[in-house]
Amino acid sequence: MPVDSEKNILSDDKSENKRTAAERSAKNKTAPKRAGRSAAGSKPAKLRPQEEKDIFALDIGTRNVVGIIGHMSDGIFCIDYTAAVPHKQRAMIDGQIEDISEVARVTGMVKEKLEERSGIKLTRAAIAAAGRALRTRRTQMSFNIEDKDTITADDIKTFELECSIKAQEELDAEKEDTAFSFYCVGHTVIRYLLDDYQISSLVGHKGKRAAVELIAAFLPETVVESLYAVTDMTGLDVSSLTLEPIAAMNVIIPPNIRLINIALVDIGAGTSDIAISQNGSIVAYAMSTVAGDEITEEIVRNYIVDFRTAEKMKLSSGKGTISYKDILGFEHSIEEKEFFDSLIPAVETLADDISEHIIAANGQAPAAVFLVGGGSLVPGLAQAVAEKLGIPQSRTAIGGRDAMKNISFGRSRITGPEYVTPVGIGVTAAKNGGYDFSVITLNGKKIRIFDTRTVRILDLLMSEGYKTSHIIGHTGRSLTFTLNGEKQFFKGEPSTAAEVTVNGESASLETTVRQGDVIEFRPAVNGRNAEVKISDIAGDVTVRKVFIDGTEYPFGVIAAVNDRRITSDRMIQNFDNVTVSEIETLGELMETLPFDTSRLDFYKSGKLLSIDHILRDNDDIITADKPAAKSDEAPPKLIPGLPDSEVHDDPGIAGAAPDGFRVTLNGKSIILEPRPNDLPHEFIELMALADIDLDSPPKSGDMILTVNGKEAGFMDVLHEGDNAVIKWAEA
């Protein structure tokens, strides 16, 4: 029968429960002695560091936070210390943490209780997530093993993790909202294949190809990050993360009985998490947000009580009469049968939802059902689930202490199904079955990296949205134009190299990141583009005018770009045709006039002017015999003598090529600008120059990177004349 959740707190009572001889033997072998206090009334003894064997399992539930310290001994998980603290308010709803500070406060209380009882300074915890918004992917990968002497356990772990990465990529490709991230929180292997033959274990075998088929479970980033926020606030690192039904499966339905088609349902306060076993494997997961809280909310509505009172009433079977006080302050009593009969519609709804999810995940009714979790204690629920599924009631059981396999309970008072998940978390962590995330700090921001492969600083930066230009930087764009018929070439400024440190020490992009690393990254600064104004080559463009026989003509410093007159602040663009002329004397002006001046005399104020006459603004000049004008105006004649700039060739313009480092990229010859401090050129520089779409890769996601026909790495050094290829592989 259910008991009050506040009274049924896990404890380390001195009175030892009856244990089997095997349990006592396992416990006595390695169980730590109780720390207690050093003497009556004195301060607690100094805490010792948490050792590798000290497994701290933490179940952050919707109603309670439960903590267990245990260890493995000869294949038995031994429970050494336990503690639990209920939430005083609804800080979690449907398995999702809503009030992080409040949940962290309660979690901290559990941690302190266990530290006081065990004498261990707890720094690492194994946790599990409820299946809120659960997504799953079933996938398979094969691996060439011809070059291996035998398959090792490490090889299998690598195969499984690569398969999980593939599942993650497939899930990400399907998501419509790319801003909504999912974390992989667990996987279970469905089968192993060796040269197309199904085999129970690959360890020690040889062959040509090995294959792994598994089902991976994913939860939204918000669900996982809220759990990590709580552990961060309580000073705990997460040593292992798993899914709650996986944890429950590992303690209730171990691999040796998974041949049977069994559905395990972990009914918490906020979610009902489902796992299905068949043919020796876990083959499906499912989740429903209909759970124990729905029963409690029905009590709130029916009896006008607060949520806390409703919880107590729900867990009051076996008392005959239930007494309670409503929110108006009136006291009431009700017969237990009448009370639980009033909850039948809510129980039916919960049973309906659980049964529908089981059939959807399994394809049919299973052979048997195990119900665990505090919500499974609701009277009549097990019978209702059996009825909905159409299976005998004898094949629907509530899994408690007696159903847990290979567990030594020690002095703990663990009895009911509500403790299956916390014990399962410990078992899963002990068997290295959980997932582990490394926490890296990049420029003050904490980043969680799923430890499925070696991660370099380059990988980390790319995953955080940094582009090649941030990492390597570009030399500023060069400028090529024509000035008075001669080609001009101005180089862009070189980039400032990126700087990266790990834990205060200089590092390279190839440095592997580790748990706890603090990385500071200062992006490369692109060099400024070459910029030339008209004033840079012609000085102040000051156009003035004179009148000859009443017609206005310009003189002074005259600049034109592509045959259009411009001012001195105009920026020159690539491939502009720039002309600059300077007219200061009458002779220079005569060369630009649109008529024959060889037989004309020029007068000002009746005085004959020489060709050396310095023109002044608004001069009024007449000729002795004015010829007919050929046109109103003609382009000014360009004159030599302007300051020369260094002349180089642009690859797209005929002429002598500038000195530089020349390579071929995707069949085109390119020149790389020198790097600062004469650093060698690296393959990654070509990424920014390759004409490929990095934002919309093909489905295959594979990129061909070669130098001189051989596979290349980002940091490979380039040599003069290298032939490089960067392109997407065909799907």
Full-model pTM: 0.57
- Return the structure tokens found at 727: 């392109």
Q: Report in angstroms the alpha-carbon separations of 508 from 166, 472, 499, 519, 520.
A: 28, 12, 9, 11, 12
pLDDT at 404: 86
Is 35 within 8 Å of 45 (Cβ atoms)? yes
pLDDT at 452: 43
Is 554 within 8 Å of 545 (Cβ atoms)? yes
Phi, psi of 719 (to 5 degrees): -125, 155
Is 31 within 8 Å of 78 (Cβ atoms)? yes
Sequence-separated (6 or more) residues with CB below 8 Å from residue 28: none
pLDDT at 450: 58
Domain with CATH 3.10.20.30 in the chain: 661-728
Sequence-separated (6 or more) residues with CB below 8 Å from residue 601: 608, 623, 624
pLDDT at 166: 85
Q: Which of 39-43, 200-204, 482-486 is predicted with the least confidence, judged by mean pLDDT?
A: 39-43
Q: Which of 219-223, 304-308, 497-501, 518-522 is predicted with the least confidence, judged by mean pLDDT?
A: 219-223
Q: Which of 353-367, 462-476, 491-505 is predicted with the least confidence, judged by mean pLDDT?
A: 462-476
d(CA 153, CA 159): 10
At 37-80, the pLDDT tens digits run 444 444 556 899 999 899 999 998 888 899 999 999 988 999 99
At 514-526, the pLDDT tens digits run 777 899 999 888 8
Please, what is the average pLDDT of the chain?
81
pLDDT at residue 383 is higher than 90: yes
Phi, psi of 34 (to 5 degrees): -70, 140
d(CA 588, CA 673): 43
pLDDT at 431: 80
Q: Report in angstroms the alpha-carbon separations of 575 from 111, 332, 491, 536, 681.
A: 71, 93, 14, 17, 28
- Assign domain 534-623 to its CATH architecture: Roll (3.10)
Task: Residue 385: name the closest of 362, 368, 401 by CA.
Answer: 368
Amino acid identity of 390?
G
d(CA 662, CA 672): 6
Q: What is the mean pLDDT of residues 124-138?
A: 83
pLDDT at residue 21 is higher than 70: no
At 141-184, the pLDDT tens digits run 999 888 888 888 878 887 887 888 888 888 878 766 655 678 77
At 694-722, the pLDDT tens digits run 767 777 667 888 998 888 888 888 998 89
Which strand (E) or helix (H) includes residue 146? none
Q: What is the mean pLDDT of residues 308-314?
A: 87
What CATH number is given for 661-728 in this structure?
Answer: 3.10.20.30
d(CA 543, CA 548): 16
The residue assigned the tokens 């505090």 is 374
pLDDT at residue 235 is higher than 60: yes
